[in-house]
Amino acid sequence: MIRYLDLEFVRLTIIPVIRNIFEQYHEPVPQYEDDIDGLRKLEGCLERVKFQYYSTLVSKAAALFISINLGHYFSNGNKRLALGVLVTFLVENHVHFLNLSSESYQQLITDLFPYYMVLHEQQLTGLDYGYYHLAVAVADSKRAGMLHETLKQRVEAFILATTDAERANSH
């Protein structure tokens, strides 16, 4: 049975974690809680993935991630929130992340998103490196002219290649 996230969970759990992480690096963090319209759109996104149109855990995870990333529900911090929701949704559904090197993630991003030039982030390694670049590649997908269905398939492929979600997907 798939465990879904709701708006209250995101507000009480994911947003404070994002705030804490980015404040440590003296990065600006949007006041998500003050944007009522953005929260309403986010809540709609969290509800939409419950429908059968998204038949697997991975398709639901990809839909959440893409919708939040590209939906621009908030004036800033959409990629951060998309990452937080994606990772939390997978973890809540007992999906584990594989221990891949930054080089493995770089190759995967290059293969799936050839329009995106992977930058070498000195501060990021492994999982952080890979998922950061996934978020930026997805954000750049419209500029690259990628069709939504193609983008969805590639995000699903990324998730399947970097987690044990195939096991969770089959249950």
pLDDT digits over 3-50, tens only? Answer: 999 999 999 999 999 999 888 878 888 899 999 999 999 999 999 999
Pull the structure tokens for residue 129: 């490196």
- Name the residue ranges covered by the structural domains of the chain: 7-92, 102-169
- How many other β-carbons are positioned within 10 Å of the β-carbon of residue 40? 12
pLDDT in tens, 109-167: 999 999 998 776 667 788 899 999 999 999 999 999 999 999 999 999 999 999 999 87
Query: Are 49 and 60 spatial neighbours (Cβ–Cβ below 8 Å)?
Result: yes
Query: Are 147 and 115 spatial neighbours (Cβ–Cβ below 8 Å)?
Result: no
Pull the structure tokens for residue 49: 């993935």
